[in-house]
Amino acid sequence: AAFGTLDPQQIVEAARLAEVHDLILRLPKGYETEAGQAGQYLSGGQRQRLGIARAIYNRPKILVMDEPNASLDDVGEAALLRTVGNLRDRGSTIIIVAHRGTIMGAANRLILMQAGKIAGIKDVNIAAPEAAPAGE
């Protein structure tokens, strides 16, 4: 209900952007698989990637992600980096809170926190990851 009327085309677009479209198609009922049912078929990382697709469904201008790579394997993390780069290229501002440093590959500004306070801010010139391939 939080999303209002769902647009099937926009759902597929968000899934493709989060690189989970092919994963969804492999579920027993594809896009019609109920979320509760999907949990029995999905790893923690796959559930996390579905959550990212859900978060980007409405094309947010600002997206805050807390530990978005916490449960991801290398493949999932690479997909996340591409997704963040694509969102940034589309004009979204993404704020990521993370302990695992690999997500910094998608950053253009780093803010280091220590003991709950900003310890440093650094602009970085990291090229955006390559565009996400179609599908998963």
- Ordered by start, the domain boundaries in the chain are 8-123
The CATH architecture annotation of domain 8-123 reads 3-Layer(aba) Sandwich (3.40)
Q: Tell me what percent of the residues of the chain surpass a pLDDT of 70.
A: 85
Is residue 106 a contact partner of residue 128, using CB atoms and an 8 Å limit? yes
pLDDT at residue 125 in the model: 64
pLDDT at residue 127 in the model: 53
Q: Please report which confidence band the pLDDT of residue 47 belongs to, taking 50, 70 and 90 as the band edges.
A: confident
Is the model more confident about 40 or about 103?
Answer: 103
Instruction: Provide the token pair at 3.
Output: 């999303």
Q: Please report which confidence band the pLDDT of residue 21 belongs to, taking 50, 70 and 90 as the band edges.
A: very high
Cβ neighbours of residue 33 under 8 Å, at least 6 residues apart? 24, 27, 41
Q: Any idea what DSSP says for residue 119? A: E
CA distance 58 to 87: 12
Is residue 63 a contact partner of residue 87, using CB atoms and an 8 Å limit? yes
What tens digit of pLDDT does each residue of 49-93 get? 899 999 999 889 999 999 988 888 898 899 999 999 899 899 999
Q: In sequence order, what are the beta bridge partners of 121?
A: 111
